[in-house]
Amino acid sequence: MSGDLKLLLVLLIVFLVVVILTIIMVTVVRRTVALRRYRILDKRRKEFDGKIRGMLDRGEKPEAFSIFSFPHRSLEWQAVESVLFSLLEDKKYEAHAPVLFDRLGYRVYYEKMLTRRNVIEKSSAADKLGRMHCEASVGKLVLLLEEENPEVASVTMRALSKIGSTAALKAVLYQVPGLYSRLLVTRKSIAQALLNFGPKAVPEMVQAGERYGDPVAKAFILQVLKELKSVEALPFAFKCLKHSAPEVRSKALTMIASAGGDLSPEEKDKILPLLDDPVWFVRLQAARTVGLLRHCPTPSLLEKRMLDEKWQVRNAAVAAVIMAASDPVEVFLETLSSKDRYAKESICEEIQKTGFVYQLIENLDPPGTPSCEKSLKVLGIMASLGYGTPVLEYMKNNPDSVIARELATIMPADRKGAVR
């Protein structure tokens, strides 16, 4: 190796060592400075916390707190901000915090930050104003919902929901169709923001839902109302049962199912026509709603749905019969007389899945009763279609019982190996 090459290699090594040492020194210095800064900030925070709470306890007027006005972004400014946020979490002082945020210039400062081009700074400012419960900032925050950046729109939506005022709620509801059409904010984000307003927001949500011409937005509001389980919104949901859009009819049914447990039989009857809806997922929700509301005055409607072309509807109808019919065994026996083997298998599968098959088995004791005879027929049909496993298990575990002897009449020995 030549001397020049050796020298070059040494210089390179020295350079790398210097760079590494420089990086280490810079990191150490930064950590030292940051640690010192945090210590000072923590000290100031504890100092200001005691003073501010003491002044509030003494009933000092807002003007007296001007002594805590500090230059923006200074350590003192950050310490006071932290103290004011802690006051929001204390019921004793939470009403004073927004007043002090405004008095000490925090609201004005963050409102100015909303006009920045930097997305992170703008989003952070919106979040801070929301956490401060600054009702006076609603007008400026709403403008951010018009922007095309999804992060800004999402954070602003959450900020408005934290403020929780009627003006903030109206602003969010007004923007829902536009946000949907521009795909700026996910449905989950908008729904969570609206849910944050709580039950008090129901009247405004209903009014907005009635105004919306877009069926997607109307269906969305019904979904939110369903989560709130609002009885107050039931009249709106019943109106939507006749809407031309199937999505709206479907969501109206789910809303009624969640909050309509105390409805009169006459009101629940309004659900029944949708069991024959031309759209399958509306029929599905109608069957589920009938089951959840325990309302089945016309079993023939559910019998028809147990033979529906869609397996999801068939399964929902079977579950509804189990939950709502006064004599589900009779309904099943009638439907299992159908010639549609595929539909009958779906019914048998759902009877097993829901565990109703064990109720059928229990009905066999005492023997000879009408309930026993009908249940035995249903179990026999299930076994003939290959759904006899629960029967075999019971006979194996309880060989000498009265029920086992009844089951033996529908489970011949040559079929025991053929069941699923």
pLDDT digits 0-9 by tens, 352-368: 988 999 999 999 989 88
Q: What is the pLDDT of residue 419?
A: 42
Q: What is the pLDDT of residue 184?
A: 57
Q: What is the pLDDT of residue 68?
A: 92
* Domain 69-197 bears CATH identifier 1.25.10.10: yes
Angstrom distances, CA of residue 403 to CA of 302, 353, 358, 397, 418? 30, 21, 11, 11, 21
pLDDT digits 0-9 by tens, 204-221: 999 999 999 999 999 999
Q: What is the pLDDT of residue 183?
A: 61
**pLDDT higher than threshold 50 for residue 418:** no
Question: How large a percentage of the chain has pLDDT more than 90?
Answer: 55
pLDDT digits 0-9 by tens, 377-391: 999 999 888 898 898
pLDDT digits 0-9 by tens, 275-322: 999 999 999 999 999 999 999 888 888 989 998 989 899 999 999 999
Torsions phi, psi of 73, nearest 5?
A: 70, 0
Q: What is the pLDDT of residue 417?
A: 45
Q: What is the pLDDT of residue 340?
A: 80
d(CA 368, CA 184) in angstroms, rounded, equals 66
**pLDDT higher than threshold 70 for residue 185:** no
Q: Which residue has the higher pLDDT, 2 or 347?
A: 347
d(CA 402, CA 68) in angstroms, rounded, equals 85
Is the entire prediction scored with pTM above 0.85?
no
Boundaries of every domain in the chain:
69-197, 261-354, 356-420
Question: How large a percentage of the chain has pLDDT more than 70?
Answer: 95
pLDDT digits 0-9 by tens, 332-345: 988 888 788 888 88
CATH superfamily, with its number, for domain 261-354: Leucine-rich Repeat Variant (1.25.10.10)
**pLDDT higher than threshold 70 for residue 410:** yes
**pLDDT higher than threshold 60 for residue 415:** no
d(CA 15, CA 21) in angstroms, rounded, equals 10
Per-residue pLDDT, averaged over 240-263, amounts to 95
Q: Which residues of 305-318 are buried (b: 16+ CB within 10 A; e: fewer)?
A: bbbbeeeebbbbbb
Q: What is the pLDDT of residue 2?
A: 66
Q: What is the pLDDT of residue 1?
A: 55
pLDDT, the chain, mean: 88
Q: What is the pLDDT of residue 33?
A: 67
